[in-house]
Amino acid sequence: MAEPSTEKDAITTEDDHLNNSLGDAGLISPDKEDISRILTVPFKGRIRGGMRPGKKIIVMGIVDTEPDSFDISLTCNCNTEKDEEEVTDVALKLSARFAERQFLRNARVSGKWSEEEATIPYFPFIQDQPFRIEIHCEHQRFRIFVDGHQLFDFYHKVKSLLTIDMIRIDGSLQITKLG
């Protein structure tokens, strides 16, 4: 069963009830019932302390049996209650599209989407199979690994990495671990 990270920079849930009942959600492990609720898709959680070079985010999950697509987004300045469509900056949006066998990525800065990047050496996701995505933050780029293999780099469009403070996950997958 997945255990939330105990690092001080852990991803925390948006569920105020859990935060109030557990104090610092990154330091105390919720019981199994709470974990399944925390990792429900669509998922939205804070990246405590924002991103910075050397930090990485790991998303482990299982692709649905009849997948269409899934998205993982790192968004900025989410200190206020905003809808995903209202968020000004999206530092990185990863979109797995199964029909086209594409793993797309782009960013939105000041309300404008960058050109979508699509080149990959292979499509790494298989229906009904587990996967592990690692997003490594470096000074000039994110480096994306899937199942231990570097798949591509995505150069930063958002210059202030510390403002990248939210992760959103949605689509045809189940999350098994997040850290």
Residue 108 maps to which CATH number?
Answer: 2.60.120.200
- Nearest C-alpha neighbor of 159 from the set 1, 52, 8, 38: 52
Is this structure's pTM higher than 0.85? no
Give the separation between CA 56 and CA 44, rounded to whole angstroms: 17
Number of neighbours of residue 83 by Cβ within 10 angstroms: 6
Residue 112: inside a domain: yes
To which H or E segment does residue 16 belong?
helix 16-22
Using the predicted structure, report yes or no on whether residue 175 has a pLDDT greater than 80: yes
For 132-148, give the DSSP string: EEEEEE-SSEEEEEETT
Residue range 9-48, pLDDT digits in tens: 456 554 433 332 233 333 333 344 445 556 899 999 999 9
Residue 68: inside a domain: yes
Using the predicted structure, report yes or no on whether residue 84 has a pLDDT greater than 60: no
Using the predicted structure, report yes or no on whether residue 7 has a pLDDT greater than 50: no
Residue 29: inside a domain: no
Residue range 135-159, pLDDT digits in tens: 999 999 999 999 999 999 999 999 8
The whole-number average pLDDT for the span 114-121 is 95
Residue 141: inside a domain: yes
3-state secondary structure of 34: helix
Residue 98: inside a domain: yes
The pLDDT of residue 16: 36
Residue 49: inside a domain: yes
Residue 17: inside a domain: no
What is the total count of domains within the chain?
A: 1
Number of neighbours of residue 149 by Cβ within 10 angstroms: 10
Q: How confident is the model at residue 86 (pLDDT cuts 50, 70, 90)?
A: low
Residue 23: inside a domain: no
Domain that holds residue 124: 41-178
